[in-house]
Structure formats: structure tokens, C-alpha cells
A and B are shown apart, each in its own frame.
Chain A
């Protein structure tokens, strides 16, 4: 059974940093791209970042570029999101999601339950 479990969320002051983790199990982690998607309270979904299976390709939303860094450790079946210079508008539930790519098709087929990040003084 595919499982994605996020951790590392919490309360942080504006300008602070936080590192999120996502522990994966039930599939060959090193074969899949991974993603972070966030959802501000009462709002819709926003894609944040993607990393390819071997970390060769990394992408960010403009809203986090230069402040957030995605990484992975295939030996530990883990995905990370280092968040620096946090702002109030970064407050959200952050989801880890597996990316399934086949030919030209791509989708987020499994999601974790999310971890809440609150940026407030």
C-alpha cells in the first residue's frame, strides 16, 4: 500500500525557516517524481514544487522561487521542502504527492494527509 506521511509543520515567525519531510513507503520511491502542493485555509490547491526521480529536474512556483528548496533522499525514501524567508501568505497545509508520468501523461496519483504550516508573529 502506498503511503506518504508528512511531518515538520508548525508555527513559525515571519522571516523564519522550516523544513518539511515526507516519508514514502509501499512503492519504489526512486522511480517516481515527487511534488509539494499547498492549500491555504479555506482556499484552493496550489502546486509548489516538483523534483524528478533522480533530482535532475526541479521546478518551483513563482510564489516560492528563491525561498523554498525541494530535495529528496532515495536511500531514505524521503522528500523534503526547505522553506526560508517565510511569509504570512505561506500559511497552508502542505501535501506531499507522488507524480506518475507515462508517455505524455502526468498526474498526482497518491497524496499524503498534509502538515500545517502557520506563519505568524
Chain B
């Protein structure tokens, strides 16, 4: 199985800050990576697909980059409504998720 290592596991930032989350795959997965947002008590929501493509309707402050084994998810200006846990997910083989990053407001 392909392991996905996400870091940090949690972070606290101020409104307006730039937030960066990393995800590392245990082997080369090309750009076969998606990012999801999960707010407390809610189902996950797709934000980014194929490492860098913004899902329709998702605000442009969210972005993704990377290929191979190293990927980055960025919120360019953190907003109060972005409080959530974010997960990366690879689909090079059977899907696996990263452990998640909980984002809180400082």
C-alpha cells in the first residue's frame, strides 16, 4: 500500500495568514493526488484534484502543487470559515488518505 504522510497534524494561524500543509507519498504517484476539506460534523468536500486543479466553486485562495512524492496545499489568506481538517488522498493505487491536518484560528 502507498502511505501518505501529512504534516503538520495540526496548526494554529491568524486570519489572513498563509497556511501550508505538506503531504509525502511513500512512492512516486505522479500527480495522482487530491485534497479534501472536512468541517466538524460534516462530510468531506473535494477542494483540489490532480494535485493542482481547483474544483469548481472552490475559492481561489486554495491551491495545490507538487508531483512525484512531495505535495503542498496552501491557503493564501486564512479565513474563519476555513477552520477544518484537511486530507490528502492518492489514487495511483487503491486510494489512501493522509492522516489529516487540523487547522485552527489563533
Contact = CB atoms under 8 A, between A and B. Distances in A.
Interface residues of B, number: 23
User: Which applies to chain A's interface (DSSP): helix, strand, loop or mixed?
Assistant: strand
Contacts of B1: 62
A101 B49 CA distance: 11
A106 B91 contact: yes
Given A95-B43, A107-B91, A47 B100 contact: no
B43 A114 contact: yes
Nearest to A105: B50
B100 to A, nearest CB: 5
Contact of A112 (B34, B43, B55, B94): B43
A106 B94 CA distance: 11
B96 interface: yes
Contact of B100 (A35, A44, A59, A105): A44
A32 interface: no
Contacts of B44: 37, 45, 95, 97, 108, 111
Given A44-B98, A44-B100, A108-B46, 12 more contacts: A44-B87, A44-B97, A44-B99, A45-B44, A47-B94, A62-B1, A104-B32, A106-B91, A107-B46, A107-B50, A108-B36, A113-B43
12 contacts: A45-B36, A45-B44, A45-B87, A47-B96, A95-B43, A95-B44, A97-B44, A107-B46, A108-B36, A109-B46, A111-B44, A113-B43
Interface of A: 35, 37, 44-47, 50, 59, 61-62, 95, 97, 104-109, 111-114
